[in-house]
A and B are shown apart, each in its own frame.
Chain A
Amino acid sequence: MRSAQANRNATKPMASARASLPWGKWGLRGTAFLYLGFMVALPLAAILRNGFSDGLLAFRADVMNITAFAALKLTLVTAVVVTMVNAVMGTLTAYVLVRFRFPGKGVLNTMIDMPFAIPTLVTGVMLVALYGPQRTLGAWLNSHGIQVIFATPGIVLALLVITYPFVIRTVQPVLMEAERGQEEAAYTLGASKWTTFRRVVLPTIAPAIVTGSLLSFARALGEFGSIVVVAGNIPGVTLTAPVYIYGQIESQNQRGASAMSIVLLALSFTLIVTVEWLQGRNRSSYVSG
């Protein structure tokens, strides 16, 4: 009652202000658009112009040369591996966090967001400190023929740490919202716990898993800070696409850097659009259900 009154009071002066200052809303919208253009569209245009400055063939040569292609391939492969691990482990962790009670649950729940808070360079340093060839764990693994730091496993490890929260944080709320009753109904209908998970729980949380996985994939594509420390950056072996771009900038090859950037950009953009679409679909099915 009181709030309705307040609303009415609040809207009246605003309406009259709008009537007397018709340029007000256009001014606001214009500012927003200008800002967006300045911050996003303009740099985007600049990089596109840079990348394609010598035509498509040059662009193709920039991206498909041996070093560049190897870097791109390494980035994609590690990102895919990381995404798959995340999809499984993230779902598992989220399920454990939502469905079970255990001591230390609160602590675990807070710890999950830590990778967001740690600067990625620091993550790299942490990994070197743990897996470096002179360190205990690193030395022990080395003696068994497994090299982590300055090798592909190091890259995967760093990406895993950095993308750790994504799947957990997207799946967790969906799982919390899902009725426990559906699982119990499946049990009484004779479905084992695994069947219930596969046939009842998984379909419910699948969109969330995909969303989280795509987000972590996008994040893995662009990761630079931790990789620079961990990977060793040997061209053709442990050089990833973002580090490759950095190298091209360092050696004054703006066009090459831009070309690779455009490829990463296109991938990321596609992923983000996909995620948006998935989430929108998810929401609408919840609304109508």
Chain B
Amino acid sequence: MSIALENISKRFGGQWVVDNVSLEVADKELFVLLGSSGSGKSTILRMIAGLTEPSGGRVLLHGTDVTNLPPQQRGTGFVFQNYSIFRHMTVAENIEFGLRIRKAPREERMRRREQLLDLVGLAGLGSRYAHQLSGGQQQRVALARALAYEPNVLLLDEPFGALDVKIRSQLRRILKEIQQRLGVTTILVTHDQEEAFELADRIGVLERGRLLEVGASEDLYVHPHSLFTATFLGAGTVLVGRASDGQAQFGPLSLPIPDDSPHDEGARVQLLFRPEHVALSADRPPPDLPLVGKGAIIEQNFTGPLRRVRLRLPRLAGTRQISPPPPFGEEGLLIDAAFPSEAAIDGQEMWVGLRSWTILDKPDPHLLVCDLGEGPTTQLALARLLADRLRARTTVLAVAEDPDQAESVRAKLGERAEAAGLSGATLRVRFGKPAEQIATEQAQSLYEMLIMTPRPGSKAARRPALEPRAKARHLGDTLMTVLEHADVPVLIAKGERSQVERVLICTAAGEPGKNDVREGGRLARRLGATVTLLYVSRGSDVSALTRSHLDRAIATLKSIDVEADVRIRSAPTPVAGIMAEIRERDHDLIVIGAHGPRSRTRFKLNDVMLQVLSIADRHVLVVPADRV
């Protein structure tokens, strides 16, 4: 092993920039670390070179632990993005610098210098200064300088980032050739997916300091495991459905879940297919292929070798879309397809089939907390509790009116998150209308749950009293809109409680699904809380229908190992029954399903969920029904 990183971490000002990364790079390998800016890729490289001290973990070069060695003694060759050529020295002096430090004899220095100038294609330019060279030439000098003393490993930090496209591809070819000829183990850092594909023997994908996946370019592209890798490495459609009997269900489309990525019954499943794996056919469904549906072409682009097509299909039941990111209010299913540009596509309505697809791994739990930037921080405290118990990643979101406030909003958000003990959370600031931005954020990524607070005294108060939403006016417009659009359970923090020990799941016969029971049960299990299953009846007698409904709910809970205490209360209204129950047994959290026709229509006036949400001084988890 030329380079080995063992659980290496780096913390900057309370944030983990590099989080427990382990990696092995084989001899003569060209390894590419790929990640967006701020993913910690350069920090990893600097820790290998000794320019940044790790907060934890070990760095091994050729089997020797160099963690505590200064950069001078590591013998790495480092190429910086901005060249960092010594400006007061000639090209030749630059290249000879490392050899001079090592007191190499003059003849050897000259021989090596000429060799390298030749290798990087700068023969005859040895007496020039940096300001007499172009950017591409300067970077080649930097490469030659780093290679001159035959380094243990070669480290390149976005070496082509500052160059224009043409020179970039030319330099890539030169680099690959030199690397292969010299056989020096190399790590290159880039944010450019194309560059990674072109150069890498293997790619490591980094997201927010964590090494998500390592593999050959083609494997990562065709069979990624995580959502981030899937969308970072190229275009494609990602749908979220549910696991059922070992199959992934996306409306009528049913695909087998591979054995190596097990999913719990009822858990969410992510499906990826690339544009070039989409089959279109005008007249009849493509034979022998899984069918997504029939849709209209809404966009067509010629991009040289490929023709890119976007189609809108009717939404699949119980399925939502993550990629391509659906715009706010989009009702349909958007699918991108790509074909060799000479293939003609005629017709507007097309059948869409899948030639190839991948089921992604079960997603890590990820919470989205919406913060108003002021007022109580109950939702942050609650998020911290859940993040600890669920071992979930947390993103704290604030919505600002305009981008000018970005800095101050982010700073304030950071302070509040820090104060609530959420220092490891990712901070995110979006701009625009809060409700739209929150809904868009939760739609574009796979969050397990949304946590927020009602905002008192919102604009809703100005609406006429007859408007259906008037009853819940003090919950705030934002919360109402988010509840209407959310695809995931929404936890509304109300009151002061920072512990959740008793969970009340409210259920009623004839409800749309068992989602609320299952989600509530799973949350209670992970929190280690006791569960009460409540049914409120108008009279004192319990019908057979109710009995069978309750039995089904209990069975659902049993299937996820949750024992529930069943309560049947009689009360004039469901809300009165629920309120009496929480007063009597002092529950911390109420789980309730979002009722009614849920095809993104507004809530009914007498919605039980909204009434509970308005009256109760406890946290409420609102579970959306699967869309029909």
Contacts and interface: CB of A to CB of B under 8 A. Distances in A.
A150 to B, nearest CB: 46
B131 A289 contact: yes
Contact of A188 (B78, B82, B86): B78
B462 interface: no
Interface stretch (A159-167, A189-197, A269-277): A189-197
Given A182-B84, A187-B70, A188-B76, A289 B130 contact: yes
Contacts of B73: 190
B87 A204 contact: yes
Contact of A184 (B80, B131, B142): B80
A285 interface: yes
A187 B73 CA distance: 9
Contacts of B88: 203-204
Interface of B: 49-51, 70-78, 80, 82-88, 97-98, 101-102, 129-131, 142, 145-146, 149
Q: Which 10 A-B pairs have the closest CB atoms?
A: A181-B84, A289-B131, A189-B98, A188-B78, A187-B71, A203-B88, A185-B84, A190-B101, A181-B80, A288-B131
A182 B87 CA distance: 9
Nearest to B73: A190
Interface string A147-160: 00000000000000
Nearest to A181: B84
A187 B51 contact: yes
Contacts of B87: 182, 204, 289
A54 interface: no
A289 to B, nearest CB: 4
A141 interface: no
B51 A186 contact: no
A184 B101 contact: no
Contacts of A203: 88
A191 B101 contact: yes
Contacts of B77: 188
Given A182-B86, A184-B78, A192 B72 contact: yes
A200 interface: yes
A137 B227 CA distance: 73
Size category of the A interface is: 20 to 34
27 contacts: A179-B82, A181-B82, A181-B83, A181-B84, A182-B85, A182-B87, A184-B78, A184-B84, A185-B86, A186-B97, A187-B72, A188-B50, A188-B74, A188-B76, A189-B98, A190-B72, A190-B98, A190-B101, A190-B102, A191-B72, A191-B97, A199-B97, A204-B87, A285-B131, A289-B87, A289-B129, A289-B131
Nearest to B79: A185
B281 to A, nearest CB: 51
A203 B87 CA distance: 9
B82 A184 contact: no
Interface string A125-163: 000000000000000000000000000000000000000
A285 B129 CA distance: 11
A200 B97 CA distance: 10
Given A189-B97, A189-B149, A288-B131, 6 more contacts: A182-B87, A184-B51, A185-B80, A187-B72, A204-B88, A289-B130
B70 A190 contact: no
Contacts of A289: 87, 129-131
Nearest to B89: A203
Nearest to B78: A188
Nearest to B102: A190
A203 B90 CA distance: 13
Nearest to B130: A289
A236 B97 CA distance: 52
A164 B287 CA distance: 86
B66 to A, nearest CB: 12
B75 A190 contact: yes
B78 to A, nearest CB: 4
A288 B97 CA distance: 23
A189 B83 CA distance: 14
Nearest to A195: B101
A106 to B, nearest CB: 19
A238 to B, nearest CB: 43
Contacts of A195: 101
Nearest to A203: B88
A266 B129 CA distance: 37
B72 A184 contact: no
A189 B131 contact: no
A114 B352 CA distance: 77
A182 B51 CA distance: 12
B3 to A, nearest CB: 15
A189 B78 CA distance: 8
Contacts of A204: 87-88
A31 B81 CA distance: 53
- Of A184, A191, A195, A200, the most chain B CB neighbours within 10 A belong to A184
A73 B180 CA distance: 68
Nearest to A190: B101
Nearest to B71: A187
Contacts of A191: 72, 97, 101
Contacts of A188: 49-51, 71-72, 74, 76-78, 146
B130 A184 contact: no
Contacts of B71: 184, 187-188
A179 B81 CA distance: 12
A285 B149 CA distance: 30
- Of A179, A185, A191, A192, the most chain B CB neighbours within 10 A belong to A185
